[in-house]
């Protein structure tokens, strides 16, 4: 299973790209789901044998709560079987990865091997992104939206690489990696974010580093690490800003963009009349408008507000219209962020449980970071910033559709949570 786990990482990070680049059968795009089925069977058997001793009870409660809310939404709105299967695919396919490290012992040696594979997959994005940028130049185009690496989305690619950089930050804070090597890898990992022109990098990188530094740095050394992080950010900014402005020459200056209240509002919050852009209009809403429009719609009916329109009932499909949600065409213009999907399909109770789940993971990361001196403790230090990035990204993009980020996120979150439970019981999980 340890070797199979490394294959899983490679598969979820590259399979979509390989299928598209080589023309292999599109059925291979469902490889992550087949993997999830195998992992789920293993988790059930192994977990039954050890009575799921490293699974914290709070996660059972949250999981059962989400399942209950999903069932209530399905009963209330009766999505078609195809849409329901589609919803199960997007929302629960990565769930077995969360429970896998709770039944499969993870020691420093195994975790180190896994991190090396993930680092290699992250560095793979550099040549792929450079080639994609060259293709754009060759076609006399400007937009960096097609610089997607093997992750298949420019915004999610940036998110993936920023999270990798934050894990490195945690390793550096716990002296698992030298400062020079850390700085070089940090800048290398973030290079694709400069050529795919994702503006949110300017927000996510400082935000993630701030959370990791404040929560993870040793007492008395926060200023030292703050100075180091500031120096790295300055170097990164001196690379990011001129490259971004050069690639967007004649379009937008990144500094002017973030210092202009009008431009910033248009990018982050609702502008204009939401009724003209809203449900069924065919126009694409901004992120702020997406939140505003979905909230107003849900407030019309208390039951719908609480339990949503049913899992899968708003989701798109890669398998034809029979698997498409009944409400997808209606809401298509406002489905620009994961928050809109979560609210529409799981309701307010579902969104609160999703936030509670991530908060519990964050608190487990904090506890492991402070108590554990193993490699898992170092990962937990950087993982606090990653969890914060994921919570913030709910209102930035539709990351929950991408196996590369969801599978890795839930697996490493499971590693940290299992370690917290082992520490609580005073036993060695490995």
**pLDDT, mean of residues 229-252:** 73
Nearest to 70 by CA among 95, 99, 48, 49: 95
Residues for the chain: how many in total? 430
Q: Spell out a b/e string for 66-99, using b for 16 or more CB atoms within 10 Å of the CB, else e.
A: beebbebbbebbebbebbbbbbebbbbbbbbbbb
- Give the predicted TM-score (pTM) of the model: 0.91
Structure confidence at residue 280 as a pLDDT band (50, 70, 90): low
279 part of a folded domain? no
Is residue 175 pLDDT above 70, yes or no? Answer: yes
Whether the CB-CB separation of 412 and 37 falls below 8 Å is answered with no
Please state the domain count of the chain: 1
**pLDDT, mean of residues 161-166:** 96
Structural domain containing residue 382: 2-262+340-425
CA distance 9 to 405: 10
φ, ψ for residue 174, nearest 5 deg: -100, 15
Nearest-10 crossing angle of helices 375-393, 403-425: 130
121 part of a folded domain? yes
298: number of Cβ within 10 Å = 18
300 part of a folded domain? no
CA distance 313 to 290: 17
310 part of a folded domain? no
Can you give the pLDDT at residue 272? 43
308 part of a folded domain? no
3: number of Cβ within 10 Å = 8
Going from the C-alpha of 90 to that of each of 82, 203, 308, 311, 357, the distances in angstroms are: 13, 27, 16, 10, 17
Nearest-10 crossing angle of helices 57-77, 338-371: 170
CA distance 412 to 118: 11
> What does the DSSP assignment read for 160-197?
HHHHHHHHHHHHHHTTSS-HHHHHHHHHHHHHHHHHTT
289 part of a folded domain? no
Structure confidence at residue 259 as a pLDDT band (50, 70, 90): low
Nearest to 360 by CA among 57, 53, 36: 57
372 part of a folded domain? yes
pLDDT digits (tens, 9 = 90+) for 307-364: 999 999 999 987 778 889 999 988 888 898 999 999 999 999 999 999 999 999 999 9
Going from the C-alpha of 82 to that of each of 94, 346, 402, the distances in angstroms are: 19, 18, 20
Whether the CB-CB separation of 111 and 415 falls below 8 Å is answered with yes
pLDDT digits (tens, 9 = 90+) for 100-140: 999 988 899 999 999 999 999 999 999 999 999 998 888 77
69 part of a folded domain? yes
Can you give the pLDDT at residue 53? 86
């Amino acid at each position: 299973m340890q070797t199979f786990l490394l294959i899983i990482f490679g598969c979820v990070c590259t399979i979509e790209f390989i299928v598209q680049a080589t023309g292999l059968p599109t059925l291979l795009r469902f490889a992550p789901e087949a993997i999830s089925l195998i992992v789920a069977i293993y988790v059930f058997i192994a977990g039954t044998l050890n009575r799921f001793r490293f699974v914290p009870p709070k996660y059972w409660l949250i999981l059962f709560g989400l399942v209950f809310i999903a069932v209530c939404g399905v009963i209330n709105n009766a999505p078609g079987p195809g849409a329901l299967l589609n919803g199960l695919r997007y929302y629960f396919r990565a769930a077995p990865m969360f429970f896998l490290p709770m039944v499969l012992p993870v020691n420093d040696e195994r975790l180190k091997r896994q991190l090396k594979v993930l680092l290699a997959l992250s560095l793979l994005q550099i040549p792929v992104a450079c080639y994609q940028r060259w293709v754009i130049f060759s076609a006399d185009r400007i937009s960096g939206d097609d610089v997607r690496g093997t992750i298949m989305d420019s915004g999610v690619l940036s998110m993936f690489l920023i999270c990798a950089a934050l894990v490195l930050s945690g390793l550096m804070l716990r002296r698992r990696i030298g400062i020079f090597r850390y700085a070089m890898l940090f800048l290398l990992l973030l290079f694709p974010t400069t050529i795919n022109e994702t503006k949110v990098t300017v927000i996510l990188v400082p935000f993630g580093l701030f959370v990791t530094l404040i929560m993870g740095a040793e007492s008395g050394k926060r200023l030292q690490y703050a100075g180091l992080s500031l120096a790295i950010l300055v170097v990164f900014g001196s690379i990011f800003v001129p490259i971004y402005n050069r690639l967007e020459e004649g379009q937008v200056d990144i500094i002017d963009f973030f210092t202009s209240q009008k431009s910033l509002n248009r990018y982050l919050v609702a502008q204009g009349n939401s009724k003209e852009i809203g449900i069924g209009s065919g126009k694409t809403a901004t992120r702020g408008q997406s939140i505003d429009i979905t909230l107003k719609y849900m407030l019309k009916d208390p039951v719908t507000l609480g339990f949503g329109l049913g899992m899968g009932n708003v989701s798109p499909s890669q398998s034809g219209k029979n698997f498409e949600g009944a409400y997808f065409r209606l809401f298509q213009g406002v489905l620009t962020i994961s928050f809109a999907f979560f609210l529409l399909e799981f309701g307010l109770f579902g969104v609160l449980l999703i936030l509670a789940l991530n908060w519990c993971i964050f608190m487990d990361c904090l506890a492991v970071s402070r108590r554990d001196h193993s490699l898992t403790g170092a990962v937990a230090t950087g993982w606090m910033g990653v969890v914060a990035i994921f919570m913030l990204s709910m209102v930035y993009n539709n990351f929950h559709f991408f196996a590369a980020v969801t599978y890795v996120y839930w697996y490493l979150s499971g590693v940290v949570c299992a370690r917290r439970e082992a520490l609580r019981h005073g036993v060695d999980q490995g």
